[in-house]
Every structure is written in C-alpha cells, then in structure tokens.
Structure 1
C-alpha cells in the first residue's frame, strides 16, 4: 500500500476512522469487515486486548511495515497516535468504527473502560523485527525520512 501524502497533508492524517457497514435488525445489529474493501490491506493476523487493568497503557511502539486497524468491540479506550512531529488522540467506543494506522506511527492505547475489548486487524504475521519499541529511535527514523515516499 502506498503511503504517498498529498501536498499540504501531514503523515498523521493517514490515520483515520473507518466506518463499517451495519445491518440493523430487531434481534441485534451485525457488522462485517472485508479485507481490501473496508480494510485497506490484506488481513494476516487478528488479536485482541481484554482484561486490561485500570490505568494500564498498551502499545508504546511503532511498526516498520505493519498496517493495523483497531476496533473497540466492547467498552471504550483512547488511541494516541504520534507521527514523530505531532500527536493526535482518537476515542473509540463503537464496534462499527475502526482506527486505521499505517506503518511509521507511534501508538499508545489508554483509558480502557471496564470490560473493554480492543480488536486489532494486522497486515502481517507477528515479527518482533517489525517493532520499534524505543521512542527516540522512532523519532530518529522519522527525521531521517524512513517512511517518506520517494517518487
């Protein structure tokens, strides 16, 4: 997937809320997600966070190649995105909305409500080599243009 940024836009603007279809029914609603249609990548891994203790912060890393989509299946939480220059906060609390995060974004997930479940769709299988867990290393990679498109 190309990360080309239009003139005047910032890298952080690549992070966006995606709304999924909702099938309303008196027996309960249904939402579905299709890769490369609702999610802008092929889904290779799915995982979820739950039973997060009060005050805990998850994330605290960036990815080199991995694309993610985070969904609050139950409850709510904040996702803080940092592109190396600025930060932006997203409040997730609806199971038919997901936050798309491309590679090269530092993320932290905090303020989990009780019984919240965060579902994550990922473009790659788990690979520790894809993680950047040191914020200063991440900032250095950003300043050196690691994720900049070259045309």
Structure 2
C-alpha cells in the first residue's frame, strides 16, 4: 500500500510550537481544506475511496484511527500528532474511527469536492480493484 506518513515542519518555541504546511511539504497543490470535529467516539467517518483525489489527514487535536484498504491488504494507523500527516493516494478505501474526546481531523485535498470522484460502495470498490 502506497500510503506515507509525512513530517510537517515545525518550529519549537517555549511559547508553543508552530507547524507549517507550504511549498513542497506535500506532493500536490492544495485545492480544498476541511476538518472533522465533535465526532462521537462510537461513530466513524470516511467509508469511501477516491478515483483521482489525494488527501493528507492530520490530527490537529486528540486522536483517531484510520483504517486503510487497497483491495489486497488492510492497515490501521493511529493519528495523534499535529506534526504528522497521513498521505492517502487514490484507490485506497478509508474509514476513520475511535475518535478521542475533542479530536479534530484536518483534511487537505488535491481537488475540490466532486461526487463523481468518490466510490462509496465497498463492493464496487473491491470490483474496481479486480479490473
């Protein structure tokens, strides 16, 4: 699976740290930014794959698990550091779960919202991997 944890440059300061996402920190041009918050601990988000869009997920606060599936293997990654981003390539099914209280998931995307880019049916996702 071609996922990657990316170190987000940070500046340590006794007054508080500063993390910066700019330039070539991520391998795509940013077209959309959104965030998930107030997600109940027993709920899950995601449940889809993208045909063309790349995404970088960052736990700005708290923690959550990202379950990734490329059709052949499954992997779970806990995000809990605001200076680490999870780069998810195209064609990877993702589900987010186990949100801690107060968690915030920042999503930086390579494309604007386009419903036709989503595969929301898991069986359809699996069959697309067989072709």
Greater C-alpha Rg: 1
Q: 2:85 aligns with which of 98, 102, 105?
A: 98
Partner in structure 2 of residue 118 of structure 1: 105
Q: 1:32 aligns with which of 20, 31, 35?
A: 20
Partner in structure 2 of residue 82 of structure 1: 69
The alpha carbon displacement at 1:84 in A equals 0.5
Q: TM-score, normalised by structure 2?
A: 0.98
Q: How many pairs does the alignment contain?
A: 131
Q: Within the alignment, does 1:42 sit opposite 2:29 as a pair?
A: yes
The alpha carbon displacement at 1:71 in A equals 0.1
Q: Within the alignment, does 1:66 sit opposite 2:49 as a pair?
A: no
Q: Which moved more, 1:14-23 or 1:67-76?
A: 14-23
Structure 2, unaligned stretches of length 5 or more?
Answer: none
Task: Choose between structure 1 and 2 for higher RCO, CA contacts under 8 A separated by at least 6 residues.
Answer: 2
Runs of 4+ in 1 over 4 A off after TM superposition: none
Q: 1:53 aligns with which of 40, 48, 51?
A: 40
Partner in structure 1 of residue 10 of structure 2: 22
The alpha carbon displacement at 1:53 in A equals 1.0
- Greater strand share, 1 or 2? 2
Q: TM-score, normalised by structure 1?
A: 0.85
Q: What is the CA–CA distance in structure 1 between the aligned matches of 2:31 and 2:80, rounded to whole Å?
A: 24
The alpha carbon displacement at 1:49 in A equals 0.1
Structure 1, unaligned stretches of length 5 or more?
Answer: 1-11, 145-151
Q: What is the CA–CA distance in structure 1 between the aligned matches of 2:9 and 2:110, rounded to whole Å?
A: 21
